Structure 1
Amino acid sequence: MGTTVYFVRHAEPNYNNHDDASRELSRRGLQDAQKLVNFFSNIIIDNFYSSPYKRAIDTIQPLAQARQKKIALVDNFCERKIDDVWIEDFESFSERQWADFSYKLENGESLAQVQKRNIEALEHLLGQNKQTILIASHGTALSTIVNYYQPSFGYENFQEIKSIFPWIVKIKFDGLTNLSITSYTEIGVPL
C-alpha cells in the first residue's frame, strides 16, 4: 500500500502584512479554509503537517479541528525566503529564478535550495507514513515539488497557479516513487 499526499497551498493571504511568517489569511481566505472541510469530507486523512507560517496553518486548521487531529509543523515546508526586505518587482525576480534555479538574492534562497529542503522533508514523511497525509504549503514551495516530479512544470505553470488559493495537489507514491499527480485549480475542480 502506498502513500497519498494532499498538498494544500494556503488560502488567500493578507498582502498588507509583509512579514512572511506571521502573514494571516484575508477574509476570503478564512472562508475558503472552511470550504476544505467539505472538499475532504469523503477522504480519510491520517496525519496533518504544515509549514510553520500562520497562513498555512490557518488554512488547514478548520479541517484538522473537524477531524480532531493535531497539525505537526515542519520547518522545511516553509515558503522560499526572497530576501530580508520586501521586493516590489516580484514578477521579474520570479521569472529569473525559474530560468535559473540557482539564482537568489543576497539573503534569500534559490529555487534549487527550496526544492531540496522540501523534497527532503517530504521523503522523510514518506518513510514514516503509509497512508493518506495532508501538508499545508506555499505556492513557490509546492511548485518546486511538482517540478521535481514533473520537470516540465516551469515558470508558465507557476504563473497559472499564482492566483489559485487554495491550490490542492494530490500526489500518489509507492515508497518514494511518484505514481501520479492531480492538481485542482479551485476547490474540487481538477486542472
Structure 2
Amino acid sequence: MSKNIYIIRHCEAEGQADDVALTDKGFQQADKLSDFLSNLKVDRIICSPFLRAIQTIKPFAVARNIEIEMDHRLRERSLSSNFLPDWLDKLEATFYDMNLTYEGGESSNEAMNRIVEVVNEMISSQSKHMIIVAHGGIISLLLNHYDKKFGFEQWKGLSNPDVHHLEIDQNNFQMKRLWKD
C-alpha cells in the first residue's frame, strides 16, 4: 500500500526559540500554504511542538477539521548548547561527518534517527496521506536519509515554508519538492 507523506517546513518566524511566533508575513504564508494543500487528501497531521510549526499548519488543520498531533521528535535539531559565532561552518561540517557533535548538541545521525523513526511509524500506520510539520535542519536530515545528495547546499536552498512529497510503496520511494516560492 502506497503512503504519501508531505514534509512541511514552517513559515517565516520571528526567531529560533521554541516559543517564537510566525511573523505577519509568516501568518500570510500559512494561509497561502493552506490553500496550496487544499486539494490534497490528508488523514493525519504530525507536528513539531514548537509554536511556529503549529501556527504554520493550523489554518489547514482548522479548515479540514484534522487534529494536530504533537511529536517532540520533530523539534528542531540542537547543534550546541553554546553560542557558536561560526555556527554555519559548524553546521556544514555536520553534513560531512554525520556523527560530529558539539557541546550540548546532537549529531546529524542522532537527529536523523528521531525523524526517521516518526516516518517509519507513519508508514506502518493505517493512514495513507499524512503531513509532517517541522524545521529546516531536521527536515534536511530526513531528506538526506532518502537522498544522500541532499546536503548542506540543499539545506540552504530550503524556503519558509517549503513542501516536499515523499511517496513510499514497500521499499521503493519517490521524493519531489512541491513548493515553488
Q: Is the shorter-chain TM-score for this pair beyond 0.5, marking a shared fold?
A: yes
Residue from 156, 163, 166 that aligns with 1:171: 166
2:60 aligns to what?
63
What is the identity, as a one-letter code, of the residue corresponding to 1:92? D
Q: How far did 1:169 drift?
A: 0.6
What is the Cα deviation at residue 185 of structure 1? 4.3
Q: Secondary structure at the match of 1:141?
A: helix
Query: TM-score, normalised to structure 2's length?
Result: 0.94
In structure 2, give the amino acid aligned to 1:173. I
One of 79, 84, 87 as aligned partner of 2:84: 87
Runs of 4+ in 1 over 4 A off after TM superposition: none
Q: 1:129 and 1:78, CA in 2 relative to 1: closer, same or farther beyond 3 A?
A: farther
Alignment deviations for residues 59-95 of structure 1 (CA, whole Å, 9 cap, x no partner): 0011000001110011111110122244332211111
Could you say what secondary structure the match of 1:128 adopts?
Answer: coil
For residues 26-175 of structure 1, the aligned pairs below 5 Å read 26-161=23-158, 164-175=159-170
Q: Is the 8 A contact 1:172 1:179 kept in 2?
A: yes
Please list every run of 5 or more consecutive structure 1 residues that lacks an aligned counterpart in the other structure: none
Q: Is the 8 A contact 1:83 1:106 kept in 2?
A: yes
Q: Do the aligned partners of 2:164 and 2:179 also contact (CA within 8 Å) in 1?
A: no
Same amino acid, percent of matched pairs: 28
Q: CA RMSD in A?
A: 1.5
Q: Deviations over 1:108-153 (max 9, x none)?
A: 1111101011101110121113410011011011111111111111
Q: Deviations over 1:150-173 (max 9, x none)?
A: 111111211222xx1001010001
Q: Distance in 1 between the 2:49 and 2:147 partners?
A: 26
Change (3 A) 1:86 1:65: farther
Secondary structure of the corresponding residue to residue 173 of structure 1: strand
Once the two structures are superposed, residues 20-79 of structure 1 have per-residue CA deviations (whole angstroms, 9 ceiling, x without a partner) of x11211111111001112101211111111011111111001100000111001111111
Q: What secondary structure, in the 3-state scheme, does the structure 1 residue paired with 2:57 have?
A: helix
Q: Which residue of 1 aligns with 2:176?
A: 182
Give 1:179 shift. 1.9
Aligned residues: 181
Q: CA deviation at 1:103?
A: 1.2
Q: Which structure 2 residue ranges, 5 or more long, are not aligned?
A: none
